[in-house]
Structure 1
């Protein structure tokens, strides 16, 4: 365990699906959620357990579906073949067990690509998976669905951000004294780790290129700030700042000095502003070879970590919250929770928390000495 973890224990949820998974239970209906993103293809299979679900199977593969989309406006043949291989694998996993319901979604790459609908029609014919292209608003709602338990430890408002491969979603949220979080406003920026990496020709570890990325994203964020005055709310206090993405979980892994990435150690961690800034600075000094060799990054993600850090740096500079709650959960978990709620006869309720396998945050990680 790293030095930072010994100095500052984390503050996380006390009961979770990880605990529930080890308890013998009567057979429950099984649900599955598939998220085909610009960079990743992810599958999660679970069964209801308590107020959440227990994970039965999961899958994640980097497919880079949006590679080249910024230049051509189309999904490339190589990108589609990579995604098809992953989707065939997902279909095979689902065929091994009786599944009550499957929700499968696609996000920014298929929203933007001229041939996105054509590709998803091919997916349905070859794999049997019917994938819906969701709106950016539903992306924000699903992220809030899965992350809302991490927002229960106080505050009046929350800013949730999800840095994806092709877009970045931000949700401005009201936290009532009782009941579920409520979405006040949201914005989807057409920049993610893949699109930003492709738009800027220089290497992201070059300071001038990195700062150009930060400035580009900050310019896109200012209209959202002018509408909601989030900076003023942060200065008044009572605003929770929550990030869910590979970028933010990587920063947490670096801040914790993890010998390899650990979801239980990262999900629900609370980083101080200084700790997050220090982790970002450390990532920027590694260079591509160092990023590829780092156990919390790896060769497949080495080209996309610093563009993600640039997006994070722009968000963090415009809205300087004193702490960041880190969430290793997102659209798949939100979809499963909605499916389970529908099974229980309550019907899906967009942008509401409630059922979750995860507990709240527990502890603030300070900057390394």
Structure 2
């Protein structure tokens, strides 16, 4: 749902900016593991971020077993959404969209939770399809897809699912989706099934095999591994898994987006680092400042998904994106706003 100034809901304040000043937009992405907010103002061909917020809420905790969102998970998430609502109100957001993904798609009580969110925060969440989630992620990452590549494999490893797109890059920053697939595996549900992952028990390899079984038909259909050999296909990953691994490999003393977003990594080295993390205990992983306690038990499941992708598509280089659905929502909101403005001017 897009919230414009005349119809702004409580907790999502909107106002008409002074003449000549661009309105403020907001995008909120509620996933299985994270709640992310981005507030921005249009700037040239893109936007300038005013404020960002991200919190691990683990909304999907226990969902793979119970089929329901737990009371504790919903309470944590509503607390984070209240902060988002306050930030949007304080910034005078004029246009906003809030989307929810896999946890709310799967949960038997997802609709009830959205109703509670609306009452508690004023935020109206849209549960989007896996197709829309994949498309928004691609839109958000498009600036990082560059010549001379003519095609791209883009993947988003989430908490409850993993979206993979094969896209054409016709030039001029444009992207065209050729095909996509949503895998029913993310870092939360894989960890709940297999544990925090390690080599000794074999759980790491079992996670890879399970993900690979679902991914194989997509590869057999498109033979992307053959296309990779031409060098014309770029591989890009967006998720906490790839950004965390980038922070580790870059040796950052603390996670900093400006060093990670858009960086290129040697893909075989990423897989080597994944093996090292799988060989560590959860407390050992937690010691790394780019992992910490909140991600220490989940990161290896993400590594397993990533290695499954690598085994099918062994690219030499991987580009990392600390951007995705939120940015895609913002781009589309601003594009729609410009189109509406042009239509209104045309009626005068």
Q: What TM-score comes out, normalization by structure 2 length?
A: 0.89
Is residue 2:295 matched to residue 1:301? yes
Is residue 2:192 matched to residue 1:173? no
SS, match of residue 274 in structure 2: helix
Question: Structure 1 76/94 Cα, relative in aligned 2: closer, same or farther at 3 Å?
Answer: same
Give the number of aligned pairs: 321
Is residue 2:146 matched to residue 1:136? no
Q: What is the CA RMSD across the aligned residues, in angstroms?
A: 1.4
> How many angstroms does 1:205 deviate by?
2.1
Write out aligned runs for 1:290-329 (5 A). Answer: 290-329=284-323
Is residue 2:57 matched to residue 1:63? yes
SS, match of residue 294 in structure 2: coil
> How many angstroms does 1:273 deviate by?
2.3
2:34 aligned partner: 40
1:285 aligned partner: 279
Equivalent pair of 1:38/1:108 in contact (CA under 8 Å) = yes
> How many angstroms does 1:113 deviate by?
0.5
Moved more, 331-340 or 228-237: 228-237
Equivalent pair of 1:247/1:308 in contact (CA under 8 Å) = yes
User: Which residue of the other structure, out of 141, 148, 154, is the alignment partner of 1:147?
Assistant: 141
How far apart in 1 are the matches of 2:173 and 2:320?
22
User: Which residue of the other structure, out of 237, 240, 261, is the alignment partner of 1:243?
Assistant: 237
SS, match of residue 54 in structure 1: strand
1:188 aligned partner: 182
Question: Structure 1 158/277 Cα, relative in aligned 2: closer, same or farther at 3 Å?
Answer: same
Moved more, 188-197 or 234-243: 234-243
Equivalent pair of 2:143/2:173 in contact (CA under 8 Å) = no
Structure 1, unpaired ranges of 5+: 1-25, 348-369
How far apart in 1 are the matches of 2:62 and 2:40?
34
Question: Structure 1 280/346 Cα, relative in aligned 2: closer, same or farther at 3 Å?
Answer: farther
How far apart in 1 are the matches of 2:40 and 2:171?
30
> How many angstroms does 1:282 deviate by?
3.1
Is residue 2:249 matched to residue 1:255? yes
SS, match of residue 155 in structure 1: coil
> How many angstroms does 1:234 deviate by?
1.1
How far apart in 2 are the matches of 1:287 and 1:314?
22
> How many angstroms does 1:345 deviate by?
1.1
2:198 aligned partner: 205
Equivalent pair of 1:260/1:295 in contact (CA under 8 Å) = yes
Q: Deviations over 1:216-264 (max 9, x none)?
A: 1111100111121111111233110000001001111121111111111
How far apart in 2 are the matches of 1:231 and 1:123?
44
How far apart in 2 are the matches of 1:178 and 1:107?
30
Equivalent pair of 1:255/1:278 in contact (CA under 8 Å) = no
Equivalent pair of 2:85/2:123 in contact (CA under 8 Å) = yes
SS, match of residue 83 in structure 2: helix
User: Which residue of the other structure, out of 102, 106, 110, is the alignment partner of 1:108?
Assistant: 102
User: Which residue of the other structure, out of 213, 221, 242, is the alignment partner of 2:215?
Assistant: 221
1:97 aligned partner: 91
Equivalent pair of 2:152/2:169 in contact (CA under 8 Å) = yes
How far apart in 2 are the matches of 1:294 and 1:27?
43
How far apart in 2 are the matches of 1:148 and 1:205?
35
> How many angstroms does 1:178 deviate by?
4.5
SS, match of residue 236 in structure 1: coil
Equivalent pair of 2:196/2:298 in contact (CA under 8 Å) = no
Q: Which runs of 4+ in 1 moved over 6 A?
A: none
